Chains A and B, each alone.
Chain A
Amino acid sequence: GENVEQHPSTLSVQEGDSAVIKCTYSDSASNYFPWYKQELGKRPQLIIDIRSNVGEKKDQRIAVTLNKTAKHFSLHITETQPEDSAVYFCAAIPSGGNEKLTFGTGTRLTIIP
């Protein structure tokens, strides 16, 4: 089945700087890659997603890039703010339908004021 690896596990960034989180996946047929933000004790919230027919997608300070050949995708957060502090999960939907997401192990992002 699909295997998603995520790095780093923790990341501390000075406020205003950029943060980058990287994920790799194993199933070359995977075609949907969402990113979720989870604050402590709360639900994961979808912040951005990308499909395999697109190489990059941007939404204000957040962007995601996808390299299908290398089977990796990355989350970029620019001009970080204290409220960006949370755990971020990448995920992928493998081939075979049924929409099952395989999650990465998560990255705890801390923005230092």
Chain B
Amino acid sequence: GAVVSQHPSWVICKSGTSVKIECRSLDFQATTMFWYRQFPKQSLMLMATSNEGSKATYEQGVEKDKFLINHASLTLSTLTVTSAHPEDSSFYICSASSRQETQYFGPGTRLLVL
């Protein structure tokens, strides 16, 4: 149980385009989903917390207009990187939890912006 999927697993795009990443909880209802960013050899940095049916809460320094988050259902959250630039290249990981502290992570999406 507690399986989280993420799609796509990797994406290469041109600078200026937008990229959408999906995060799904496959076998449980996720009341809360989290989006992280991870640079090579570094820890996970929380970008935002997403609750179903409400606006996401962004961490300090994360631009909400650049990283659009939608949590439309209890099993799906999306992160859209708008007008992506090379500095947005990173490993994006989502996690999901269901009214408990335990977070289960998706496999991550590696984004490369050319």
Residues of B near A44 (CB, < 8 A) are 44, 93, 105
Chain A residues with CB under 8 Å of chain B are: 32, 34, 36, 41-46, 49, 89, 93, 98-101, 103-106, 108
Say yes or no: B101 contacts A43, CB within 8 Å: no
What CA separation (Å) do A45 and B107 show in the bound complex?
10
Indicate if the CB atoms of B44 and A32 lie closer than 8 Å: no
Are B43 and A104 in contact (CB-based, < 8 A)? yes
Residue with the highest number of chain B CB atoms closer than 10 Å, among A32, A34, A41, A101: A101
- B103 contacts A by Cβ under 8 Å: yes
Number of A-B residue pairs with CB-CB distance less than 8 Å in the complex they form:
50
Which among B57, B101, B102 has the greatest number of chain A C-beta atoms within 10 A? B101
Interchain CB contact under 8 A, A43 and B93: yes
With A89-B43, A98-B49 already in contact, 14 other A-B pairs whose C-beta atoms are closer than 8 Å: A32-B101, A41-B110, A42-B108, A43-B93, A43-B105, A43-B106, A45-B105, A49-B101, A98-B32, A99-B32, A99-B97, A99-B100, A100-B49, A105-B43
A89 to nearest B CB, angstroms?
A: 6
User: Are B102 and A100 in contact (CB-based, < 8 A)?
Assistant: no
What is the minimal beta-carbon distance from A3 to any residue of chain B, in angstroms?
12
Is there contact, CB below 8 Å, between A34 and B57?
no
Which listed residue, A32, A93, A103, touches B43 by the CB 8 Å rule?
A103
Complex: A49 Cα to B100 Cα, angstroms: 12
Contacting residue for A101 out of B4, B46, B108, CB 8 A? B46
**In the complex, what distance in Å separates the CA atom of A43 from the CA atom of B49?**
18
User: Quick check: is B28 within 8 A (CB to CB) of the other chain?
Assistant: no
Q: Is the CB of B108 within 8 A of A43?
A: yes
Which residues B28-57 have CB closer than 8 A to chain A? Answer: 32, 34, 41-44, 46, 49, 57
